[in-house]
Amino acid sequence: MSNPAAESGSQQKLQLRSPGRMYVKAVFTGYKRGLRNQHENTALLRIEGVEKRQEVDFYLGKRCAYVYKGKRLTSVPGKGKEKSRVRVIWGRVTRPHGNSGAVRAKFSTNLPPAAMGKRVRVMLYPSRI
């Protein structure tokens, strides 16, 4: 799509706007665990605004992303020349956890423990509505 703001041909100059937040805020609370053992392959997420197990159904299967910054510049996928410090670990919401609206998620690689208490983005896709 050509940049509408720069296109001289179009009569209406559409401002290049970006939408606001297109994801639901969630927090990585910890790994799936018993009292004395934890299993790092499954992360527990608490999604903002979700207080009951019944409300979780909408979020099942949704992709989630842990976004963080590194020190070194890495290439941006899809744009060969561009480099950025932003990095992502992608995952999916798999199932509810408990009765209070917490959720389990599995990521492509286990979330680093430094991510605990940090923001995880739960996207609105794959959408079922």
Partner 1 sequence: MEPGMDFHQAFQAIDTDHSGEISVEELEDYCKKMNYKDTFVKKWLNLFDEDESGTITYDEYCNTLGLIPKQEVVEKHKVQQTKQAAGGSASGSAVSTTKTTTKTTTKTSAKGSASTSKQGRSRNEALSGTVLMKLSRARMFQRKAIYRLKKKLARGSGKSATAASASKVQLTEKVIGGEKNGGKRLVPDRRSPRSLPTSVPHRYSPPRPTKCFKDHKRRLRASITPGTVLILLAGRHRGKRVVFLRQLSSGLLLVTGPLKFNGCPLRRVAQSYVIATKTRIDISGVSLPERVNDAYFRRAKQLQAKRAKPSSADPFAKPQSAYQLVDERREDQKAVDSQVMTAIRASPDAKMLASYMRSLFSLRNGQKPHEMVF
Give the footprint of partner 1 on this chain (CB under 8 A). Answer: 1-2, 4, 12, 14, 17-24, 49-50, 55-59, 123-129
Which CB atom, from 27 or from 123, has the smaller least distance to partner 1? 123
Cβ of residue 113: shortest distance to partner 1, in angstroms?
28
Which CB atom, from 31 or from 66, has the smaller least distance to partner 1? 66
Which CB atom, from 23 or from 68, has the smaller least distance to partner 1? 23
Please give the angle made by the CA atoms of 68, 70 and 72, to the nearest 5 degrees. 150
Cβ of residue 8: shortest distance to partner 1, in angstroms?
13
Nearest-CA neighbor of 16 among 8, 4, 27, 7? 4
